[in-house]
């Protein structure tokens, strides 16, 4: 058995996010990092680790297609926590991707676009680590419903730590308010979650309040970029190709 997989199994007894963060930072030292799109969940985790005096490197998947507000938030978070957030970028710029695959690949084949601009760069960044920390919560979507606080990530072959797996959206925002942590202002302008600008839209007031992924890839069945569930996206992509 892989040693880090064994460690993941040992850590599954923990239930408190702070205990989880203490344990994994003890265990993995400089072989653990936070993958963040600067969504509210990972802001909580960054703040918790700062409070514990255990800053962990943060990397940020910069697709080149993010909202200006997201880049501005990165600057604010870096300044607040005295962090250097590392940008992980796709192999090709947006312009080069258009030359290779045609304009606006996200409109024609969003799974292929996410693979090029998110999943492959993520895989490269994770190949240097034994564990990664995410902000995934179980109640965000059906596909995230079986997320554990600490689990073995079969897709990428390392330990995956989801300290807020048990939390809900209200608890996340209560924490951010209590600690006065800044978050993306678009979340107060009708956006439920924030991804790339071409694929993220505000939702109407009567949208299902439990659908936190509403507004992402609107008008399609896609709900995941594939970073957390590459198998789901690849299976969906094959079904589309077969159909
Ligand atoms: S979210 Fe949209 S623009 Fe961003 S990588 Fe995926 S398909 Fe491309």
Give mean pLDDT, residues 47-66. Answer: 96
Atom of ligand 1 nearest to the CA of 117: 5
- CATH number of the domain at 3-242, please? 3.40.50.620
Atom of ligand 1 nearest to the CA of 106: 7
pLDDT at 7: 81
Q: Is 138 in the pocket of ligand 1 (CB under 6 A)?
A: no
pLDDT at 119: 94
Q: Is 233's pLDDT higher than 60? A: no
Phi-psi region of 157 (alpha: psi -120 to 50; beta: other; left: phi over 0): left
C-beta separation of 183 from 46 below 8 A: no
Q: Is 77 in the pocket of ligand 1 (CB under 6 A)?
A: no
pTM of the predicted model over 0.85: yes
Over residues 127-144, the pLDDT tens digits come to 999 999 999 999 887 777
Delimit the domains of the chain by residue range: 3-242
Q: Is 198 in the pocket of ligand 1 (CB under 6 A)?
A: yes
What distance lies between CA 32 and its chain's CA centroid? 15
Over residues 184-210, the pLDDT tens digits come to 999 999 898 899 999 998 887 777 777
Q: Is 214's pLDDT higher than 50? A: yes
175 CA to middle of ligand 1, Å? 29
Average pLDDT, the chain: 88
Nearest CA to ligand 1 atom 1: 196
């Amino acid at each position: 058995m892989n040693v880090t997989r064994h460690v993941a199994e040992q850590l599954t007894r923990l239930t408190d996010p702070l205990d989880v963060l203490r344990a994994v930072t003890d265990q993995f030292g400089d072989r653990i990092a936070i993958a963040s799109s600067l969504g509210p969940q990972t802001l909580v985790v960054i703040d918790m680790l700062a409070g514990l005096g255990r800053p962990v490197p943060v990397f940020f998947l910069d697709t080149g297609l993010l909202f200006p507000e997201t880049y501005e938030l990165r600057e604010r978070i870096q300044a607040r926590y005295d962090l250097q957030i590392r940008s992980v970028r796709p192999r090709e710029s947006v312009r080069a991707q258009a030359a290779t695959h045609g304009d606006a690949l996200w409109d024609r084949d969003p799974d292929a676009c996410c693979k090029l601009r998110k999943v492959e760069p993520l895989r490269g960044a994770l190949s240097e680590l034994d564990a990664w920390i995410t902000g995934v919560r179980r109640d965000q979507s059906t596909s995230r419903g079986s997320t554990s606080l600490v689990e073995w990530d079969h897709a990428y072959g390392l330990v995956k730590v989801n300290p807020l797996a048990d939390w809900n959206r209200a608890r996340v925002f209560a924490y951010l308010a209590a600690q006065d942590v800044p978050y993306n202002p678009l979340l107060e302008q009708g956006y439920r979650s924030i991804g790339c600008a071409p694929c993220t839209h505000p939702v109407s007031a009567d949208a299902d309040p439990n659908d936190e992924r509403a507004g992402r890839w609107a008008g399609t069945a896609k709900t995941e970029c594939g970073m957390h569930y590459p198998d789901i996206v690849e299976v969906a992509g094959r079904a589309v190709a077969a159909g």
